[in-house]
Amino acid sequence: MFILRLWNYFCGYAIIIVKGIKIERFINLAVVNNIYLWDIEKIDYTTIKAKINIKDFFKLRSIVRKTDSNIQIIEKCGMPFKIKTVKRRKWFFFGLGALLIFIYILSSYVWMIEIHGLNKIDEQTVVENLGYVGLRVGVRKSKVDKRDIENRMLIRMPELTWMGIEIKGTKAFVTVVEKKPEPQPINRDEPCDIVASKNGVIEKILVLNGDGVVKDGDTVKKGQLLVSGTIIREGLPERYVHSMAEVNARTWYEDVEEIPFEQIEYKKTGRTFTTYSMEIVKKKIERSKKIPFEDYNKTSKDIYILSFGSYVFPIKLTVTKYEELVPLTKIINEEEAKTICEERLNTKIKLQLPEKAVILNSRIEYFTNDKSLIGKIYVEVLEDIGVKVKIN
C-alpha cells in the first residue's frame, strides 16, 4: 500500500469531489475498470471525496455519464505539480537557494565573541589580544586552533591564569580566570622586621618571634619599627630572625561630603525619539538625525536579523531610544540633607576600611552655610597594622 501511494505521488494525483445519486454504483464501476481510488470520504448521501491517480482521472468520463454524476478537482498533488510550481516561481526559488548558500557560507565563520569571567581586566584588551593570536570576528572556524590560542593568550596576558574557548554555531565563548593579586610572601627562613603600615595607637602587641620595640599604649607612625628581626644580646654575636607578631592598633579614618540644599532632579516627560541603524558584516548603515531633546535617557537594543540559537549572523539592527528628561529644582531641608549625607559618608568610609577591621567608634559632624550642608565622618577602628619588611 505504501509503495502504491509513493508511486502515485511521483506520477501525480488529484483530490476530487463526486456528486450524484448513484455514488455506490460510481465506486463499483471504478473498481471494475481497475481505477484505484483511495482515502474515500463520504461527505453526505450524494457526495464523496477521494484521491485518484492523475492518469486514471480521464478514464472516469464514461463512468460519470453512466451514473449521471458530477466530478470536480479541488487540488492537484504530487511531484509533477511541485515541479510546475517551481518553474513558475523559479526566480523565487533561485533567490531562496542563493540565500541558503549565503547562510551556509556565513555559518563557517565566527561572528560573535562572548567573554566571561572578567572582573578587573578591560574586555576590549582581551578582545584585542585574542585578535592578535588568531580569534577575531570574521575568522573562519576551521582556522581557529583553540589550544594554540589559549596557550598564546596566557603568554601574552600573564594576568590570566586560565582560558577556555568553545565555539558553538557562529559564536565563540571565551571563559577566563584572572590571576589574583597576592603580595610576595617572605619565606620563613628569611630575616625580616615588622613595621607599622599606618599611624595608630598600639592596643595589644603579641610577639611570637623577634624583639618588640614598642608596647601597649604607644603611639606609632607609618613605617615605624614595631618588631625587630635583629637580635642583639650582650656578649653574643648579632643574629637575624624572621619576625612574627600580631599588632592590633587603634586607627582613624575620616571623609567629607557636601550636600546642596538645592537639588536638581530629572523627570521623564513621556516624549520619546527612536533611531535605527543597520550593520552588515561590520559596515554600519545609519542615517544621522538630530536628537530633539537637550536632556535624555538613551537605551539601545541590538536585534540580529538572522539568528538561530547559537548561529548568529552579522546582520544587526540597532534600535536606539531617547526619552526626554526635564530638570526640576527641588529644595530640601537640613534633616533631609543630613540623611543623604550620612548614607553617602557611610558608603564611602566602608570602601576605605580593611576587611578584618573592627569599628570601635563612629561619629559625624555637620556644618551648614546658606547653600549646603557639609558632613565630616570620623571612624575609629581596631586593625592589625604590622607588615613584614626584609632585612637587607
pLDDT along the chain (392 residues), means of 10: 64 82 83 82 84 81 82 79 65 71 81 87 90 89 89 90 88 88 76 93 93 93 93 88 93 94 90 87 79 89 78 82 91 93 93 90 93 94 93 83
Measured CA to CA, the distance from residue 125 to residue 176 in angstroms comes to 13
- Under a CB-based contact definition with an 8 Å cutoff, are residues 32 and 67 in contact? no
Helices first, then strands: H and E counts in the chain: 9, 24
Which pLDDT score is estimated for 81? 67
Which pLDDT score is estimated for 60? 81
Helix (H, G, I), strand (E, B) or coil at 112: strand
Helix (H, G, I), strand (E, B) or coil at 147: helix
Write the class of the CATH domain 112-178. alpha beta
How many CB atoms are closer than 10 A to CB 89?
Answer: 12
Which pLDDT score is estimated for 223? 93
Which pLDDT score is estimated for 83? 67
Ordered strands of the 296-304 beta sheet: 283-286, 262-280, 315-331, 296-304
Measured CA to CA, the distance from residue 308 to residue 325 in angstroms comes to 38
Question: Does pTM surpass 0.75?
Answer: no
Measured CA to CA, the distance from residue 155 to residue 130 in angstroms comes to 12
Give the burial class of 184: count Cβ atoms within 10 A of its Cβ; 0-12 exposed, 13-18 middle, 19 or more buried.
Answer: exposed
For 236-257, b/e burial (b = at least 16 CB within 10 A) is eeeeebbbbbebbbbbebebeb
Mode of pairing for the β-strands spanning 262-280 and 386-390: unpaired
- Under a CB-based contact definition with an 8 Å cutoff, are residues 329 and 262 in contact? yes
Measured CA to CA, the distance from residue 362 to residue 348 in angstroms comes to 13
What is the CATH code of the structural domain delimited by 2-83?
A: 3.30.70.260
Which pLDDT score is estimated for 198? 93
The domain segmentation of the chain, as residue ranges, is 2-83, 112-178, 192-247, 256-261+332-390, 262-330
Which pLDDT score is estimated for 215? 92
Which pLDDT score is estimated for 192? 93
